[in-house]
Structure formats: structure tokens, C-alpha cells
Amino acid sequence: TKIISNLTGSTSAASAQELDVQKVHWECCGQQFEKKMDIHKHAAKEHMPEVLQQTEAVLELLVQQNSKLTANHNFGENKSASLELSGTKEEFDVCAWLPDTSHVTFDELTCEAGEVLLYYCYCAIEEPRMICTWQTALCRQLHLTGKVRIGTEGINGTIGGCKTATELYIQAMISHPLFQNMSKEDFKRSAGGVNCFADLRVGVFKEIVPMGVDPEKVSYKDAGTHLTPEEFHMKVEALSQDLEIDKKTILLDCRNFYESKIGNFQHSLAPNIRKFSYFPDYVDRNLEFFRGKQILMYCTGGIRCERGSAYLRSKGVCKEVYQLKGGIHKYLEQFPSGFYKGKLFVFDDRYTIPASNGIISECSYCGTRWDQYRLCSTSYCCQLVLSCLRCREKGLVACCLICQEKGKSASESHSGAPVKEECDCTEKRMKIPVEHI
């Protein structure tokens, strides 16, 4: 909605006010409204979801800011305390860092077609809850969905929306003083949109990527040497051509087994671990395997390598530790037909995004080439399943036959919602694999 005034001059305050009342009108959805009542009716009829969402965001901001202020017992008596909160901490004034969207229509912010942004920024954040409040308001204002993790060590996010909204989001991020070292290049883009996520989740966490180690003990500041996609490509190329280098170098995938299963760099070591919090134990159990080796690490967007490489370096066994800057995402932008084969796994409702035309994985049941994940059909299991269309038509839609039978029994018993439990095939897997020297 735009407020238009044709007031061009005045001879007195009274006449200016009179002219202003006569000339001001409102424009919305290609229509012009002369009266406030008319624009109010239009907004209530056509834009109620947006109005409610904006109102909710503003109210949440006011409540959180009020709780911050009233938490200071001397606020009413000590003006210097008030000045400290509102003056020296720029991020406290959340509204000051929200973008101006008056030039953008509701339709431009809510179209389904768009993109997904993946990004992170390691930096010192003294007041992560204030940034959490700002991020919540920012994403709601721009109608974005996704997940944003904030901590004292930085921010990690993946959000989806229309391109107008994601562009405004990027501008808001790089304009904030805490993230002034970020640039547009730090945001990895892929085709998607608001429907790639069920909702918006913004929270404060000890770690912005859960490795299970206190950030104060293993810091991103001690990460391995960053290699650009070009530099990484050259090293992988040399690795594939020289057997001597191959014996001294390990191309290490930091992701989970279900990620590397559908796509990876050729000749890489992909640990058979289920989540990143197992990675420290994996390193500890395989120190002799890594001893004296040059390590080339990679992950989806680069964030897991930051502290993963720092942990590996802290053990003092590797000759050198390198990591792919920007992760597989940035590598594929420059080398779409490079050494990475298969699909790239992503943590949203798409599950994968195209990387190369080849399929390197197979159906868990019949062995045919297949790389499209679906959740296990049994409600108590959260495992991902590779089951081809033919097998799915046969009812083979669980992660394993045992889980399939459990699912049938649960549905036939009608005993209410089943209790979540670890799947048998997961329970039998080795939690921390040991590599052979």
C-alpha cells in the first residue's frame, strides 16, 4: 500500500493541512482509495493474513523489548542504564534493522516460485537473543520459512522465499554491523521457495552447528586452511592422477552417511556416521589413520568443516588440514561437471538438489539406480529411505523389512499413536566406524 500526496507548496500551516487532507490518497493492488475507511476495508478483505502476521511480529518485538527493559531494576531511576541499552547496543533497536518494504507488493513477497538461501557467519555475538528477535521479525516481515541458529559464536541459516524477499533478506544481513564481513557471495542459492520448509524456526543455541563440543574448547578460529573451489579442484585433480599423493592425502567427507550415499567426490573417504555430533568420536577413534596425512575436507556449505577441521587440528596428528571454502555448493557453481558426482543432499523438504546427471546410489530393496529420498513410512521412525517407484508400489516404503513389519503391526493393532523408538537397522549399525590403516 502506498500513501500518495500531491502537496507541492503552502502559504501557511493551516492551508497546508487543508491541501494535504484534500490531496492525499492510498494506492493498493492497482486501485486508488480516497478515504481511510475504504483503504481499511480493502486491507481487511484482501490482506488480512499479512496484516495479522505483521501485527504479531510487532507485538512480539514490543513484548521482548519490554521484558529486557523491565529486567533492569534501576531502569526508572538510572537513566544511564537506559542509554546503555538503547545507545551502545545498536542491535537492541530491532526495528532499525528491518528493511523498508513499502515499495514491494504483497504478491511480490508471497509468490511460491523463488529460492533457498544457505549461509553462515562465525563472529562474536554478545547478545544472541536480540539477534534472534531481529531474525524472527525479519523473516516474518519477508514471509520467509526455514531454520536459523544463533549463538555467541555466530549465525547459521537456511531460509526459503520468493526472490524479492531473499534479496531483501541478504541486504538486511550484510547491512547489519555484526555481519559487515559478509557479502552476497556468502549466500548459497538454489531453486526452491517458501514451501521447502514447514515453518519458520529461529532459536539460540550453544553451537550454531551441533558438533557436541563446547565452542570455547574448539573454536572456529583454529580451522584448517581455506581453499577456493579452484584450488580445491586442482588438489583433487592431482590426487586422482598421482598414486603417491593418494597414499599421503585423505579426501574427507564431513557429512552424514545418507548425504554422501547419494553424492560425493570421487575417491573420497565418507565416514559411515549418522550425525555430525559423532564426528569428534570418529576422529578420536581413528587418530592413527590420520597421522601424518594431508587432509582435504568438504561438506555441504562449509560450516561443518570450520569446527570439524579445528577439532582434527587440535589432535596434532595431521600434516596439513585444508577445507573447501563455501562447500560443495560453491564448488558446483564453478565446476558443475567436476569431480563431484551424484546429487547434493539438503536439509529441507526437497532432500536433494541436482549436481550432476549421474546417479551413484541405488534402491535399498531391488538395487536399481535411485537417489530420491523419502521418510520411512512408519510413524515412529525418522530414517530416510531409498525406495524406487516399483518397490514403493509393492508397499516397500520403510527403511528396512523389520521396520516395515513393525509398521504393519502398529497400523493393524489400532492402539493409538506408536511410541517413537530407534529403528532396528539404525540400532545395529556401528555408531563410530574404524578405518583400516
Cell 480516497 -> residue = 34
> What's the farthest any 2 CA atoms get from each other in the chain?
90
Distance CA 319, CA 304 (A): 20
Distance CA 401, CA 383 (A): 13
> Does residue 95 have an active-site annotation?
no
In three-state form (DSSP H/G/I as H, E/B as E, the rest C), the secondary structure along 32-99 is EECCHHHHHHHHHHHCHHHHHHHHHHHHHHHHHHHHHHHCCCCCCCCHHHHHHHHHHCHHHCHHHHCC
Distance CA 431, CA 437 (A): 19
Distance CA 184, CA 431 (A): 38
Which entry of 139, 162, 299, 318 is annotated as an active-site residue? 299
Cell 523491565 -> residue = 70
Cell 529460492 -> residue = 115
169 and 142 Cβ atoms separated by less than 8 Å: yes
Cell numbers for 247: 597414499
Q: How far, CA to CA in Å, does 279 sit from each of 44, 222, 253, 274, 358?
A: 52, 17, 11, 9, 28
Q: If you write DSSP's letter for every residue of 245-278 in order, what string do you get? A: HHHHEEEEE-S-HHHHTTEEETT-B----SSGGG
Which residues are designated catalytic? 299
